[in-house]
Structure 1
Amino acid sequence: MSSFISLATKRRTIYHLGNNLPQSKEAINDIILEASKQAPTAFNSQSTRIITLFGAEHHKVWDMVLEALKPVLAADVFEGTKAKVDSFKAGNGTILYFEDNQVVEDLQAQFPLYAANFPKWSEQAHGIAAYGVWLALAEANIGASLQHYNELIEDAVKKAWGIPAKWSLKAQMPIGSIETPADPKGFIDTDERFKTFG
């Protein structure tokens, strides 16, 4: 098995995170920055933007999630959801992924023939960047998961950290020490997902 496939196999969604990482904040930021820089983008647009949160700032974003969820969930449902959100908060930090819509709009104006595609390519850029970062974190034995509370917290996030209006929040990735490994992963039948001809 190739080293890349081994790494892709190692990357898993880790829900039981802890605050016991040996890496410094600076070392973690270096991993995130370099992995995201190397992610390919259509027209080399480099539209992905990343904010990392540690310490009280990391806790703040998950408090925002709970504050936004409490009015819209029934009390019994909220308690289960709170336990899940608390598991993210128990980690070491959070990565906030954004796409810069100004980049998308500028490319649409510059290349009108492809205008309808640039928003799709921006979404792809985010996905590739998040996956690349996730792989790099897995290589460093840092646990992570990808969460999407975007519409609930985007306005509060932008206000709290002075995020430009044109940046669109795409995902939140809590990170931390792996306190409980992921369960074995199930797969659909190969015939349902893979075909070859010729």
Structure 2
Amino acid sequence: MSIMESISQRRTYYQINKKLPVDTRKVKEVIQQATELVPDAFNMKSARVVLALGQKQDELWDAVYDAFGGKVPREKIDSFKAGAGTVLYFYDEDVVKSLQEQFALYAVNFPIWAQQANGMLQFTIWTALRDLNIGASLQHYNPVIDEAVKKLFQMPDSWQLVAQMPFGGITAEPEAKEKEDISNRVKICE
């Protein structure tokens, strides 16, 4: 499959289950490989990933529900908990601060570049999971869940949570995307 075909297959899958079409070793391998290959400015390597599987997957989404004190419907949280796992995306503030000190001229840009690299990593992993016929979605329950996540996974304070990606076997396809007039967003000048 070409890269554009892979990207076109990547969608938001909310209806997932714990039955993966591949062994979890393959999922771990793909996540590790993507994390190593995705570039970032000054080769800072600020992105951090935690992969929650099995019991930790269930504990994570129970902790998310608890952090909101019932303000997010249990059914919604349980739809993520129903997945086989969750990729948690972080960036390490200590790495960013170190580069800000080393390269003061660019200091203001390092947090931006760290977020950009993290976004590329999220997209790469999301697309790679879809190549394995795994469905995923991208969630943003932080900062409300930050402390609960750090406690559950014993994370350093310098790791800042960016996003959560529950994934699993696909139980239903999302609705077809509407074709947009891309000229509203892309200007070509010749």
Separation in 2, partners of 1:186, 1:138: 20
- Which residue number in structure 1 is paired with residue 94 of structure 2? 102
Q: Which moved more, 1:62-71 or 1:112-121?
A: 62-71
Q: Which moved more, 1:157-166 or 1:7-16?
A: 157-166
Q: Report if aligned partners of 2:60, 2:152 keep a CA contact under 8 Å in 1.
A: no
State the 1:22 CA deviation: 3.2
Instruction: Establish whether residue 88 from structure 1 lines up as the match of residue 69 from structure 2.
Output: no
Q: Which moved more, 1:28-37 or 1:6-15?
A: 28-37
- Which residue number in structure 2 is paired with residue 33 of structure 1? 32
Separation in 2, partners of 1:186, 1:55: 36
Letter in 2 for 1:136: A
1:96-145 CA deviation, whole Å, 9 max, x = no partner? 11000111000000000000000000110110000011111011101100
TM-score normalised to structure 1 length: 0.92
Q: Report if aligned partners of 1:36, 1:130 keep a CA contact under 8 Å in 2.
A: no
Letter in 2 for 1:161: F
Following TM superposition, the consecutive aligned residue runs of length 4 or more in structure 1 with deviations greater than 6 angstroms are none
Q: Secondary structure at the match of 1:151?
A: coil
**Pick aligned residue for 1:168 from 153, 160, 165:** 160
Q: Report if aligned partners of 2:135, 2:168 keep a CA contact under 8 Å in 1.
A: yes
- After TM superposition, the structure 1 = structure 2 runs for residues 1-198 of structure 1, keeping only pairs within 5 Å, are 3-70=2-69, 73=71, 78=72, 81-198=73-190
State the 1:25 CA deviation: 2.2
Letter in 1 for 2:163: A
Separation in 2, partners of 1:89, 1:186: 29
Letter in 2 for 1:45: M
Kindly report the root-mean-square deviation, in angstroms, between the aligned alpha carbons of the 2 structures: 1.3
Which sections of structure 2, spanning at least 5 residues, go unmatched? none
TM-score normalised to structure 2 length: 0.96
Q: How many residues get paired? A: 190
Letter in 1 for 2:18: N
Separation in 1, partners of 2:99, 2:187: 35
Separation in 1, partners of 2:8, 2:34: 18
Separation in 2, partners of 1:90, 1:192: 38
Indicate the percent of aligned positions where both proteins have the same amino acid. Answer: 42
Separation in 2, partners of 1:174, 1:195: 35
State the 1:187 CA deviation: 4.4
State the 1:3 CA deviation: 1.1
